[in-house]
Amino acid sequence: MNIEVWNTWISKIEWILKIAKKRNWDYTELTIKKPVSEKAFEILEKELNIEYPSDFKEVLTKYSSAVLMDWQIEGEEPEGEFQEIFCGAGRGYLWDFDSLRDDYKNIQGWINECFSNPEDEYDKVWYNKIPFLDVPNGDVIAFGEKTDKGNQVVYLSHEGDDFHGQILGESFIDFIDKWTRLGCVGTEDWQFEPFYNYETKTLLSDKSILDKWVKWLEK
């Protein structure tokens, strides 16, 4: 992570908010909270008995503990494959250190109450995940398996959807790179799906889809 990447993220967020303002959508201005201390992160990890990915901790301790904003389309509807997109940033933030404790309790609740069989093909996807985004419809976005690129960002569906277990990024930084290029579309699976390739399990593998979306946003 470096300052150039950070500045690109902020630039993309400001870009989508300018579009929201120009098109008279509902939106909340960008708020960038100060970084959280490494000590606070250590306390949280010890309490929950987990370890967050290093790139995630770096961003929250060196750049910002929370990035808050949102937007909602008003008075019009996206065209074609984008018809299901109606808002941005889910619950009003891209990440928020203050939500992490509740996010973890939430995923443990899902596992204990609904997905308690680690041998079941669907249930087992919920295991060994560290959540960082609570989706408004009850789904979860979490860190999963660690690869040579980092901890993958995984979508967890509680309703049996095809998007369950799909990979949104090879790491936190990769996910935020892609998400901000999309204008931080809402976090429900159906808002990500137009940009997702099920065969390669990648978000934004087809640049033409992104170009088409940006063209509609900037029209």
Arithmetic mean of pLDDT over the chain: 94
**Residues 193-215: pLDDT tens digits?**
999 999 999 998 889 999 999 99
Residue 145: what pLDDT?
84
- CA dist 189 and 2 (Å) reads 29
Q: The domain containing residue 17 runs over which residues? A: 3-217
Place of tokens 């640049």: 207
Residue 168, both tokens:
């949104």
Structure tokens at 45: 């990890």
Predicted TM-score of the model (pTM): 0.95
pLDDT, tens only, 158-202: 887 889 999 999 999 999 999 999 999 999 999 999 999 999 999
Mean pLDDT of 104-131: 88
pLDDT tens by residue, 4-51: 999 999 999 999 999 999 999 999 999 999 999 999 999 999 999 999
pLDDT of residue 48: 96
d(CA 86, CA 101): 28
Q: Which two tokens stand for residue 98?
A: 């203050």
Q: How many domains does the chain have?
A: 1
Which residue has tokens 């961003």? 59
Looking at residue 17, which CATH number applies to its domain? 3.40.1580.10
Per DSSP, the three-state class of 123 is helix
Q: Give the per-residue pLDDT at 123.
A: 85
Q: What is the dihedral of CA 101, 102, 107, 112, to 10 degrees?
A: 100
Secondary structure (DSSP) of 132-196: EEE-TTS-EEEEEEEETTEEEEEEE-SS--TTTT-EEESSHHHHHHHHHHTT-B-SSHHHHGGGE
What tens digit of pLDDT does each residue of 70-105 get?
999 999 999 899 999 999 998 999 999 999 999 999
